[in-house]
Amino acid sequence: MWVHWRSADEEARWARRITVVATVVFLLVVCRWRPWELFDRGGFSTDFYDAQARAFWHLRLDVPAAVAGPEGFLIGGKTYLYYGPTLAVARMPFVLLGHGIDGRLSRLSITAGFAVALTATFHLARAVREALALSSAPSPGPSPAPAHSPSPAPRRTSLLIAAVACSPVLYLAGWNSVYDETEMWACALMLCTLVFAVRLWREPSPRLLAVAGAFGVATVLTRASVGFGALAAVALVAATTWRTRPRIALGGIAVAVGGFAVNSVVTFAKVGSWLDLPAARQVLSLQNSDRAAWFAGNGGSFFSTRFLPTTLVQYLRPDAVRIERLVPFIRFPPAAHVFGSYRLEGNTPSSSLPVSATLLVVLAVCGVVLAVRRRAWVPLGLMAAAALAAAPSFLIGFVANRYLTDMVPMLVVPAAVATACMASPARRHAAVAAWGALVVWGTWTNVALATWTQNLKEPGFTEMRYAIDGAVFGGAPPSVVQLADTPVVPRDGVVAVDGPCDGLYIAEQGHWVALERADGIRQLVGHVTLGDTPLVLVDAGEGTVVLTPSGPAGSRTVVVSYQPVGGEAVTGQPVRVADDHPAIALVADHVAGGLSVVLDGQQALFSFAAPTLEGATIGDAFAPRSGTSSTPICDDLTKASR
C-alpha cells in the first residue's frame, strides 16, 4: 500500500517528495509551529479514543462520564461515545502505558492520517490509470503495463497529490480534537478502500476483495456516514464480476452487508439504536432545552432533506472566503444563510469546495467529463459511491468547515481519471504556472483558516496581527470598534474595546470572548493567604465571594462560594492546594458573562452572576497584583486609533 521509498521510479520520487513536504507543513500547523509540542496533552475530546481503548481492555463499551462530558450519550445510567471503534482499537497498545498517555496521541494520529491520505491518493491515481489503460486496450493485443511501470507523465500524479494536500484535509490541522481526527482517518480509509476497489476491478481476486472489504469495514467503524460509501464501492465493483467471477460478486455483497451489520450491532450495543443516534439522550441535549427542542422538531434525528438547500449553497458557493489586510489575510465568510423555516442546530463559519479545494474541483470536473466520454462506467460508479459517502454531510443540520473533508474522496476519484486521461497541455509552462498558483492558493487558504480556528481567542494572535499591520500600514487599526457603539455582536474576528480599556474582546459566533481584562475592574489576580477560618475575598456590594479552607496547613482543601444579596448561594467544587499562599484569579465579566475563581490553575467556582469589582472591598488575606497594565494590547490599539 505504501510508496516504495527506495524506488527509482520518477513518479514515486515525486510522490514521496510532495507527501513528505506536505506532511511536515501539516505537522507544523497542528503543533502551532512548535513541533516540540507534538505529544503535549490536548484539550477536550483528545482523550476520547484513549478512554474507549481502555474500556475495550476491560471488555466494556461505556466510558467515564467526566471524559465524555456533553458529547456523551447517557443510556441506562452509563455514558457512551458514538465514535466508532477503529481508532480506539489502534490506541489499545498505547493505553497500557497508563493514563499519562491520555490526550497526547491525537496530533500524531491526525498527522499520520494526512500522510496515509496522500499515499492512498498516489496509489489510487496509479490504479485508475492502469485500469483505464487495460479497459481500453484492444483484445487480443499487447499485455497491459506492469503495476509499477513509469508513467508517461509522472508529474500529473504529483499534481493530484498536491491537489489533495492543499484541500480541506489540510485545514484539519487547525483543531487538535476527536472531530478532526475522525474526519481525517475516515477520508484516508475511504481512499484506501477505493484503491483496492479499483484494483479489484482490474484483477478480481479473493485477496483483493478481502483487503478492499477490510478497509471498507474499518471506514464504517470510524465514521459510519463515510463508511457506507466505502462499502458501496466494494459491492459495486464486485458486482461487475457477476458473469465471470460470481463468487467474487457474492463476496462483495456479503462484505457490504456484513460491514453494515457490524456497525449497526456496535451502535445498538452502545445506544440502543441500530442506525441513527438517540439525540435526546445526548448529555448536551439533556442540559440544553433549546437543543432538545430542536431535535424534537426534527423527528429526533440529526438529518433531514430540508437542510439540503442551505448546505448545498454553502459548500458549493464560489465566494465562501473573505480577504482582509490583517495576517493571515484570508478569513472565514459570514455564517451560512439558512434557506427554509427550520434553523440549523449548528452554523459555524465554513468555506466551500470551490474556494478551499479549487485545484481538486477543476481536476474533478475534467475527470467527470472524460469518464462520461469514455463511458468508464466503473469509475463513474465509484464516483457515485464516494458521493454517497459525502451525502450525509449535506443532510445534517450542522454547517462546519471540517465536513468538507467528507467530500474530498468524491473529488479525488474523477480527478484521478483526469490525471490519467488528460492530454499534455499545448502551453506547458503556462499550465505549470496555473497549477502552481492553485496549489499556493489552496495551501494559503486552508492554512489561514486553520490558523483562525486555532488562534482566534488567543491574545497573542491578535497582538501579532495588529503589530504587523501597524508596522506595514500604520494609521488606525482595522476591525476595531467601541463596545458601547456595537449593540449587535459583529462577524467573527472584530475586536471591541470596552470603555477606556476596561476589557478587550473579540467576536466569535455571536458572542464576545475576552482577550484582556483590566485589573480591579474585570478581574483580580494575585495570591491569597489561607488561615483556619472562612475568608471574604471580595465584597462587591451585590454579593460576596467567600473562601473556606479545611485540613492541615500545606495540604488544604478549599471551597469557594458566592453569596448574592437576596439570592441563593452558589458553591464550587472543592480543590486541593499545595501551600497556604495559592495563586488566585477572580474574574467578574458581564460582557463575556460569568464569575469564576481559579486557585492554583484549578477551577474552584463558576457562576453566571457578574458582580461589579470596581470599588469592591477586598479582603485582607487577598493580595492582588498592581503596578503593571493588564491590558497592553488594548492600550496599543486605543493609542493607534487616536
Domain presence at residue 460: no
The pLDDT tens digits for 279-295 are 889 999 998 999 999 99
Residues 272 and 338 placed together within one structural domain of the fold: yes
Give the integer Cα–Cα distance in Å for 484 and 564.
27
Q: Is the pLDDT of residue 622 over 50?
A: yes
My answer on whether 282 and 375 are in the same domain is: yes
* Residue 396, φ and ψ in degrees, nearest 5: -80, 150
Report d(CA 486, CA 500) in Å as an integer: 15
CA distance 73 to 90: 23
Rg (CA), the chain: 28
Backbone φ and ψ for 482, nearest 5 degrees, come out as -90, 130
Per-residue pLDDT tens over the stretch 418-432: 999 877 766 778 888
Same domain, 499 and 392: no
Cell reading at 440: 499556493
pLDDT at 19 over 90: yes
> Number of structural domains, the chain?
3
Distance separating alpha carbons of residues 158 and 475, to the nearest angstrom: 45
Does residue 184 surpass a pLDDT of 70?
Answer: yes
* One domain for residues 505 and 536: no
Residue 453 predicted with pLDDT over 70 = yes
Does the pLDDT value for residue 105 go beyond 70? yes
Distance of alpha carbon 33 from alpha carbon 223, whole angstroms: 29
Domain that holds residue 389: 10-39+105-136+147-299+311-451
Which residue's entry shows cell 465568510? 333
SS3 of residue 526 by DSSP = strand
Q: Of how many residues is the chain composed?
A: 642
- DSSP-derived secondary structure for 545-603: EEEEEESSTTSEEEEEEEEETTS--EE---EEESSSS-EEEEEE-TTT--EEEEETTEE
Residue 606: its H or E element: strand 602-607
- Asked whether residue 66 is domain-assigned, the answer is no
Evaluate if residue 5 carries a pLDDT over 50. Answer: no
Residue 239 domain-assigned (yes or no): yes
Q: How far apart are CA 194 and CA 279, in angstroms?
A: 32
**Of 487, 517, 547, which residue is a domain's last?**
517
Mean pLDDT of the chain: 91
Together in a domain, 247 and 365: yes
Q: Provide the pLDDT for residue 154.
A: 58
Position 386 pLDDT exceeds 80: yes
Kindly state the DSSP code that residue 70 receives in the 8-state scheme.
Answer: G
pLDDT in tens, 203-253: 999 999 999 999 999 999 999 999 999 999 999 999 999 989 999 999 999
What is the enclosing helix (H) or strand (E) of 515?
strand 511-517
| pLDDT band, residue 74 (cuts 50/70/90) | very high
Domain identity same for 543 and 497: no
Residues 292 and 386 in one domain: yes
Is residue 289 one of the residues assigned to a domain? Answer: yes
Q: How does pLDDT run across 503-512, given as a tens digit for each residue? A: 999 999 999 9
Residue 145's pLDDT band (boundaries 50, 70, 90)?
very low
Banded pLDDT at 122 (limits 50, 70, 90): very high
C-alpha cell at 298: 426534527
Say yes or no to pLDDT of 641 above 90: no
Last residue of a domain, one of 451, 484, 503: 451
Q: What is the pLDDT of residue 135?
A: 60
Of 33-42, 266-275, 346-355, the poorest mean pLDDT is in: 266-275
Q: Tell whether 83 is covered by a domain.
A: no
Q: How confident is the model at residue 3 (pLDDT cuts 50, 70, 90)?
A: very low
- Provide the grid cell at 302: 440529526
Q: CB–CB of 263/218 below 8 Å?
A: no
Share of the chain above pLDDT 90, in %: 81
The whole-angstrom separation of Cα 310 and Cα 352 is 12
In a domain, 62, yes or no: no
User: Minimal CA–CA distance to 118: which of 216, 15, 222?
Assistant: 15
- 404 and 483 share one domain: no
What pLDDT was estimated at residue 147?
41
Asked if the model's pLDDT at residue 256 lies above 70, the reply is: yes
Residue 585 and residue 601 share a domain:
yes
Q: For residues 121 and 172, state if they share a domain.
A: yes
Better pLDDT: 414 or 553: 414
Note whether 394 and 493 are same-domain residues. Answer: no
Direct distance between the N- and C-terminal alpha carbons of the chain, in angstroms, rounded to an integer:
61
Task: Give the pLDDT confidence score for residue 136 in this predicted structure.
Answer: 56
Confidence of residue 7 (pLDDT cuts 50, 70, 90): low
Cell readout for 383 is 464516483
Range name among 301-305, 321-325, 428-432, 459-463 with the lowest pLDDT average? 428-432
Indicate if 166 and 264 belong to the same structural domain: yes
pLDDT for the residue 468: 96
Please state whether beta strands 398-399 and 346-347 pair in parallel, antiparallel, or not at all (unpaired). parallel
% the chain with pLDDT above 70: 95
pLDDT of residue 431: 83
Q: Are 379 and 413 in contact (CB under 8 A)?
A: yes
The answer to the question of residue 332 being in a domain is yes
Q: Is residue 306 part of a domain?
A: no
